[in-house]
Each structure stands twice: as C-alpha cells, then as structure tokens.
Amino acid sequence: MSIILDHVNYTYSTGTAYEIQALKDINLTIEDGQFIGIIGHTGSGKSTLIQHLNGLIKATSGAIYYNGQDIYDEDYDLRTLRTKVGLVFQYPEHQLFETTIFDDVSFGPKNQGLSKEEAGLRAFEALSMVGLDENLYYQSPFELSGGQKRRVAIAGVIAMHPDVIILDEPTAGLDPKGRDEIFDLISKMHEEKNITVVLVSHSMEDVAKYVQRIIVMNDGEVMFDDTPDEVFKHYKELEQAGLAAPQVTYLMHELKEKGLDVDVNATTIDEAKRSILKALC
Amino acid sequence: MLREITLGQYYPADSVIHKLDPRVKLVATLVYVVSLFLFKGVVGFAVITAFLVLAVKLSKVPFLYMIKGLKAIVILMILSALFNLVLTPGINPVFVLGPIKVYPEGVRMAVLMLIRLSYLIVGTSIMTLTTTPNQLTDGLETGLAPFSKIGVPVHAIAMMMSIALRFIPILIEETDLIMKAQMARGADFEKGNIIQKAKNMVPLLVPLFVSAFRRADDLAMAMEARCYTGGAGRTKMKPLRYGKADALAYIVLFAFLATVIVLRIFGY
C-alpha cells in the first residue's frame, strides 16, 4: 500500500509566454506509515508535487499509482482518492465557509456520503483530536483566532479519515506556541492512528525534529531523498539550493573543527546536547 | 484550471506597439472602433483590414492568442447575425420559410455585423495585450486629466480601475485555490442540476468573498499608512512623455482616419 510516482512531469501554461516546467521527471515511492518532510525554497515545485498526490493536478506526462491502481485510469474515482489522501492547503483557514465550526468540519464526511449522524460523529472526533474547546463547536469559525481556525481546518481533513495526510506549510504565519501545537498534533496523529504524513515546509528545524525521511526539492527536481541525518550531511549543497541545514548542524560542525569530538550528524537540540555532554565528560 | 482565462491579459513581448505611449494606443483604439462603424464599401473595409493586419504584425503577439477572445462572444455573434438576417426589411426575399423572410439587405447586415464584432474584439484586444493594466490606467488618467476641471474625479476613477485590474489575477488564483481546497474535502462542482450546482458554489463563494473583503481592508490600511490622500498634488515616478515613435503613430493614425472618412463621403 503506497503512492508511487513514475516519471512525473508537469508544465504550467503550456504553449504561452508564461510556460514553466514545475516538475521534472519525479520518481518517488511513499510507503504506508512513513512520516515524510518535503523541503524546498519558494518555487521549487513542492506545492505542485503534493497536488499531484491526490489528483488535483494531472501530470503532463508520467503515471501515479495509489495502492497499485493508476489514478489516471478513466474509471478511477478521484473523489474517493481525495478522501483517502487528505490534503491540507497552505492557510487552510481561508477555506472555512459554514455558519458553525461543527458544520464546517462535517463538510468532508458529508461529501463522502456518510449519514448526518455519522458525519457528526466524525466531526466531533476530529475536533477533539485537534484539541479545540467544546464550547466553541457551535460558534462561527470566523470568530476564532488564527491558530484555532487553522486547527479547525485541519480537523476538516482529519474527519474524512484519510490514510495519508499531506500538510502544506501547516505552521506558516503562526506564533511559536501555535506552531508547536500544530506539530504536536501532527506527530500525535502519526503515532496514534498510524497515518502516513507528508509535511511540506521550508524550515529544516521543524522538519528535522519530526520526520523520518526528507525529500529535498530544487528547481522541479528531487535533489535528495534520504533520512534527515544523511540529507544534512550535504549541508553545503543545501545552502546552494537556497536552503539551510538546522542551526545545530552548523554548531556541531564548528565544534568538531575546533577539536571537540562530537557527533556531527546530530539534527535536534536534544541529540546535540547529549553528544556535547558526552564529548566533554 | 482557471489559469486559461485571458481577460485582457498582458502578453509580454518586445515590439513597437508595446513601447508606444498608452495614450496613443487608447486614441488609436477609439479611432479604430469609430472607423469600424464608418466604412460603407469594400475599399473602406480593405483599408481597415490593412490597418488591423499591420497592428497585429507589429505587436508580435501570436494571432491565435487574440482569436481566443472571440470564443467568449461566439453566442452573441451568432445571435446578432441571426436577428439581422431575419429582421432586416427589404423588397425581394431570397429565402422564405413560413413567416420568416430573408432579404439580401439582411444578409448584408448580418455579414457586416459579424465582421464588425470580430474586428472589434481582435482590435481592442491588441491594446489590452500590449499594454500593462498600470500603463493603461496611467494613460487614461493623463488623457482624461482635462475633465477633472469640470469636477470629474479622474484620479479616483483611474485608481479604482487599476486596483480592480490588479486584483483580477489574484482573485482568479484564489478561486482556483479554494476550489482545489474544497475538492480535497470531497466537494464536487460539476454534478447535479442547476439548484444543486448553485448550492455547491457556497463553499467556494463564502471564502472568496471573505478573502476579497480582507484584501480590500488590508490594502486600504496599507494605503492610508503611506499617507495616501487622493489625487491632489500627486506626482509620478514615471510620468508619461511622448517620443518620436508616438508622433509617427499619431501621423499614421490620422492618415488612416482621414482615409476612412474620405472613403465614407464618397461612398466606397
């Protein structure tokens, strides 16, 4: 059970003056239960890539298979695919529209053809999962704070019970507290429900802390696809692609250069702390 | 999926027409439209066609790109041709079907109408394709400046126009994004009858309006924060100045207009 991308190419505005090739020969396999980070600077093709995964954009050439089935088959049901591969867009709070939060979260399940009761149950479950106060459920989503709105919007996708959830910059524009809340929520989802998570971000710090595998996009191509440790070893090349490794990586490399025997592959603050303490003792 | 809309979209190219002063292009468009309704005979038509072909060639915009605009008014063209065909009175009908009588005059009118409409669209689209919205409003503002003396709020109108034009692509993009976001939640914008379809639009329209108002609010705030107070005493970073090419364009333009008028007087 997986998503496979086979030689996927995508070109925007073909045949006009604005023609851009956004994806160049992408080959990827996303296995079940993985926690993946996709990183790349603005315009590297990350957002285009993830919209291929649930069939919102059709590749100019190449094939995509979900659980072994070609999603571009004529009789393939893309709407079902979209409920299986949930996509949370950037600034998802901009898509809220219902009169109450509860109704908004039920929108997805209702589209799946579930009964009112069942959809309500799903909404309730999803809202408690994102940790929204129960008193708010029947208020207008437009009265919430930015961070709360975002959690409601994420709940709207969780309520569909997707097998894979893709989040495009889920913490953009949030304060550090809101950011931590969202990340904790995502890793909780991954652990408890064993959902495959694809996290799009341009912050290496955030990604390094949570994911098992990093896909680095650069100029429409996959530049690296490996574990965080391995990817951050190439921190000089990452810089050339307009990205940066976590600050910890730089610190560890400098300590090593100065003669302290630390593990340069540490990517999180905790790992770095342990390694430095060990080297000092 | 909405990217294909060419609503007066600018087509970047390095051509003589692109570099002309927007005021020249505005006047030229006006003259061209007037000439379309002045010509009577084949000679006049040939002159206008030559003028149009020259403009299309000089603009370096692919001709197919201009034709795209015609698609939007195909129904209007068919309808107006049909009405002209059937409703123009004459003497010797060439075709009779029950109460419907088609006269040669009707055929002539229908053909003329088709030519006029398609020439109108293609000709005016040259202006919008070769002029950025900003240049266009700049041209309008400077061109209409004399009217501000009689109380027409020229600057305000130009500012509203440029803001409206500026937001069209943003709103199109936003619509596209919200549509996708709702489709990702299983929304379907195609199925069902008209009432069902209208209902399906709610998840698209509500967020779109909310975001349009939010953007308008933000913009107003940003303008106020930069002490925008309207037109009085405002200077420009790039004031419009006529060059040699513009003078030449005016000469060609008035020669063209004079030819069309003379041809009209003599009935060609």
Rounded CA-CA distance B78/B87 in Å is 14
Name which of A51, A86, A107 is nearest B180 (Cβ-Cβ): A51
Q: Is residue B261 over pLDDT 50?
A: yes
Residues of chain B neighbouring A111 (CB-CB closer than 8 A)? 185-188
Name which of B3, B188, B202 is nearest A79 (Cβ-Cβ): B188
Contact A95 B181 (CB under 8 A): yes
Determine the pLDDT at residue A141: 92
Residues of chain A neighbouring B210 (CB-CB closer than 8 A)? 94, 97, 142
Mean of the per-residue pLDDT values of chain B: 86
Read off the pLDDT band of A163 (50, 70, 90).
very high
Contact A160 B186 (CB under 8 A): yes
Of chain B, the percentage scoring pLDDT greater than 90 comes to 32
Determine the pLDDT at residue B72: 77
Rounded CA-CA distance B77/B101 in Å is 20
**Residue A92 touches chain B, beta carbons under 8 Å:** yes
Residues of chain B neighbouring A155 (CB-CB closer than 8 A)? none
Q: Which of A87-101, A127-141, B72-86 has the lowest mean pLDDT?
A: B72-86
Determine the pLDDT at residue A17: 66
Residues of chain B neighbouring A13 (CB-CB closer than 8 A)? 3
Determine the pLDDT at residue B8: 53
Q: How confident is the model over B91-109, as a mean pLDDT?
A: 82
Determine the pLDDT at residue A84: 92
Q: What is the DSSP secondary structure assignment for residue A242, as one 8-state letter? A: T
Q: Is residue B59 over pLDDT 50?
A: yes
Determine the pLDDT at residue B4: 47
Which of the residue ranges A28-32, A259-263, B98-102 has the most confident prediction, judged by mean pLDDT? A28-32
**Residue A231 touches chain B, beta carbons under 8 Å:** no
| Closest-CA residue of chain B to A93 | B207
Contact B186 A112 (CB under 8 A): yes
Determine the pLDDT at residue A149: 92
Read off the pLDDT band of A279 (50, 70, 90).
confident
Name which of B11, B183, B206 is nearest A17 (Cβ-Cβ): B11
Q: What is the DSSP secondary structure assignment for residue A92, as one 8-state letter? A: G
Of chain A, the percentage scoring pLDDT greater than 90 comes to 49
**Do residues B256 and B55 lie in contact, with contact meaning Cβ atoms separated by under 8 Å?**
no
Q: What is the DSSP secondary structure assignment for residue A80, as one 8-state letter? A: H
Determine the pLDDT at residue A237: 87
Of chain B, the percentage scoring pLDDT greater than 70 comes to 97
Contact A89 B183 (CB under 8 A): no
Contact A82 B185 (CB under 8 A): yes
- Both structure tokens of B154: 């020229």
DSSP-assigned letters across all residues of A46-63 = HHHHHHHHTTSS--SEEE
Determine the pLDDT at residue A239: 85
Read off the pLDDT band of B1 (50, 70, 90).
very low
Determine the pLDDT at residue B104: 85
Q: How confident is the model over A229-247, as a mean pLDDT?
A: 84
Mean of the per-residue pLDDT values of chain A: 89
Name which of B11, B178, B185 is nearest A107 (Cβ-Cβ): B185
Q: How confident is the model over B201-215, as a mean pLDDT?
A: 92
Q: Is residue B108 packed enough to be buried (19+ CB in 10 Å), middle (13-18) or exposed (0-12)?
A: middle
Q: In 3D, which of B254, B195, B223, B267 has the Cα closest to residue B24?
A: B254
Name which of A54, A96, A97 is nearest B184 (Cβ-Cβ): A54
| Closest-CA residue of chain A to B3 | A13
B70-87 pLDDT, tens digit per residue, is 887 888 889 988 888 888
Give the C-alpha distances (Å, rounded to integers) separating B265 from B35, B38, B60, B111, B261. 13, 10, 34, 22, 6
Q: How confident is the model over A81-87, as a mean pLDDT?
A: 92
Determine the pLDDT at residue A1: 66
Read off the pLDDT band of B197 (50, 70, 90).
confident
Q: How confident is the model over B52-66, as a mean pLDDT?
A: 88
Read off the pLDDT band of A245 (50, 70, 90).
confident
Q: How confident is the model over B162-181, as a mean pLDDT?
A: 87
Contact B207 A160 (CB under 8 A): no
Contact B184 A156 (CB under 8 A): no
Residues of chain A neighbouring B11 (CB-CB closer than 8 A)? 17
Q: Phi-psi region for residue A243, left (φ > 0), alpha (ψ -120 to 50) or beta? A: beta
- Kindly list the domain boundaries of chain B, sorted by start residue: 16-135+240-265, 154-225
| Closest-CA residue of chain B to A166 | B184
